């Protein structure tokens, strides 16, 4: 199955509906479950969030399938351990290639009994309960966790910490990546009554239980990035309004505002969201994606299409996402005349030679962000996206929204 996209050559205009943030949604679902209640409004309709809801609704199950959802796998590992659950936690073949040893080691240190069903350090996991190690009543357990691995491990540990008798102190070692996602986790925890403190390299959670609370999920800044790309690549005069985004957001991908200012898109905060308009792009750009790795694919494609040399760092985590996103980007960008060159020492450069969109077919590698990062190229010419259904993971209405905006979607 594939989807062919064409654009009418008119300027883009109007309002596009975004999904709710699945990062906020999945954290809020775990915390609400630990808190024992609360009303969550505007939950994401993404497959990852619907999956999380289904699995949390059946805590007595003997097998939990996280499919291809990273947050579901990591957050449920900690949640099921902390709630003394017994059962198997598994996922897709790709999920079984994504490491989880750092999180499992930390949970074992806290008292969880977890074993690997297949390969050491990777799902599936067998969870067999929790027994608190013997400590004095005053002693707060302390974990040393590498900061340069997935922040989802750190968030998973933080979210269960208020349920531990002495709380938890997490000491981050080395470079810390995706720090905004950790801050989002802490902010949601505090909203539900937790006492958590960010002391830089030390994260402290006191043994103060959650309480039920209501919360409304913000729209998704990651999803907004694709509309930024369309405005950047659209005919002169293109603009779009995106409701539900906040100027003071907990989402790290709000960084798209500053990044796309370099690539020709201005952001104006309006009553209920943002309005995007075209401006002149920079002649060259640079960005560290350590705190916003999910934006990298979109930005790389736009920079190549605009022929703006763009130096990118902080891409380490892209190797262990739904696919090896660096390799996938290199392969697919080359079809159009774009390149993502490894300069060594963690630096990559986007460049282009005679970049053209002329009916190419883009492979998506079971990765929703590959489909949506390349789709905006249809503003420049006809384009086919393979396996378009992958967008259900985070933005199920993506193709419908493109059609409403004026794209021909076949």
Binding residues for 3-phosphoshikimate: 22-23, 27, 150-152, 178, 294, 321
Sign of the Cα torsion 377, 397, 16, 19 reads negative
State the Cα–Cα distance between residues 354 and 333, nearest whole angstrom.
Answer: 12
List the end-to-end C-alpha distance of the chain, in Å, as a whole number.
Answer: 11
Q: Is 294 a catalytic residue?
A: yes
Edge to edge, the sheet with strand 361-362 lists: 361-362, 383-386, 2-6, 408-409
* Total H helices, total E strands in the chain: 12, 21
Give residues with Cβ within 8 angstroms of 360, minimum separation 6. Answer: 335, 336, 383, 384
State the Cα–Cα distance between residues 143 and 131, nearest whole angstrom.
Answer: 17
State the Cα–Cα distance between residues 152 and 132, nearest whole angstrom.
Answer: 23
Q: Shortest CA distance to 264 belongs to which of 302, 312, 226? A: 302
Q: Which residues participate in the annotated binding site for phosphoenolpyruvate?
A: 22, 70, 98, 152, 325, 369, 393
State the Cα–Cα distance between residues 85 and 62, nearest whole angstrom.
Answer: 9
How many Cβ atoms sit within 10 Å of the Cβ of residue 60?
A: 7
What DSSP letter does each residue of 2-56 carry, written as one string?
EEEEE--SSPP-SB-PPPBPHHHHHHHHHHHHHHT---EES---SHHHHHHHHHH
Q: Shortest CA distance to 125 belongs to which of 147, 142, 107, 152? A: 107
State the Cα–Cα distance between residues 303 and 123, nearest whole angstrom.
Answer: 36
Q: Which residues participate in the annotated binding site?
A: 22-23, 27, 70, 98, 150-152, 178, 294, 321, 325, 369, 393
Give residues with Cβ within 8 angstroms of 85, minimum separation 6. Answer: 59, 127, 129
Give residues with Cβ within 8 angstroms of 93, minimum separation 6. Answer: none
Catalytic residue among 48, 65, 68, 294: 294
State the Cα–Cα distance between residues 325 and 318, nearest whole angstrom.
Answer: 5
- Pure H helices in 68-161: 70-82, 101-110, 151-160
Show which residues are catalytic.
294
């Amino acid at each position: 199955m594939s989807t062919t996209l064409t654009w009418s050559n008119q300027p883009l205009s109007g309002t596009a509906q975004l999904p709710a943030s699945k990062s906020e949604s999945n954290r809020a679902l775990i915390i609400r479950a630990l808190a024992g209640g609360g009303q969550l409004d505007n939950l994401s309709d993404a497959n990852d969030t619907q999956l999380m809801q289904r699995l949390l609704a059946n805590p007595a199950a003997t097998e939990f399938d996280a499919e291809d959802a990273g947050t579901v796998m990591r957050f449920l590992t900690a949640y099921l351990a902390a709630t003394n659950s017994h059962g198997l936690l598994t996922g897709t073949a790709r999920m079984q290639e994504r490491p989880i040893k750092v999180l499992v080691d930390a949970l074992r240190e806290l008292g969880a009994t977890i074993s690997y069903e297949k390969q050491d350090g990777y799902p599936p996991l067998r969870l067999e309960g929790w027994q608190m190690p013997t400590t004095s009543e005053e002693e707060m357990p302390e974990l040393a966790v590498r900061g340069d691995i997935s922040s989802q491990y750190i968030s998973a540990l933080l979210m269960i910490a208020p349920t531990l008798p002495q709380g938890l102190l997490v000491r981050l070692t080395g470079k810390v990546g995706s720090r905004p996602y950790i801050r989002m986790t802490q902010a949601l925890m505090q909203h539900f009554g937790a006492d958590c403190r960010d002391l830089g390299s030390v994260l402290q959670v006191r043994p103060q239980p959650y309480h039920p609370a209501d919360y409304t999920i913000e729209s998704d800044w990651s999803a907004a990035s694709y509309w930024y790309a369309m405005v950047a690549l659209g005919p002169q005069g293109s603009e779009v309004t995106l409701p539900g985004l906040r100027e003071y957001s907990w989402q790290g991908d709000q960084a798209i505002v500053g990044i796309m200012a370099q690539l020709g898109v201005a952001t104006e905060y309006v009553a209920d969201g943002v309005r995007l308009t075209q401006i002149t792009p920079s002649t060259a750009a640079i960005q560290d994606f350590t705190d916003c790795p999910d934006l990298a694919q979109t930005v790389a494609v736009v920079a190549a299409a605009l022929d703006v040399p763009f130096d990118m760092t902080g891409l380490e985590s892209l190797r262990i996402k739904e696919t090896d996103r660096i390799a996938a980007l290199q392969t697919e960008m080359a079809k159009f005349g774009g390149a993502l060159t490894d300069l060594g020492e963690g630096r990559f450069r986007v460049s282009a030679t005679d970049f053209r969109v002329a009916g190419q077919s883009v492979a998506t590698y079971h990765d929703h962000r590959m489909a949506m990062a390349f789709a905006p190229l249809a503003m420049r010419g006809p384009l086919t996206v393979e396996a378009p259904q992958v967008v259900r993971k985070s933005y199920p209405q993506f193709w419908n929204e493109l059609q409403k905006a004026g794209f021909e979607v076949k």
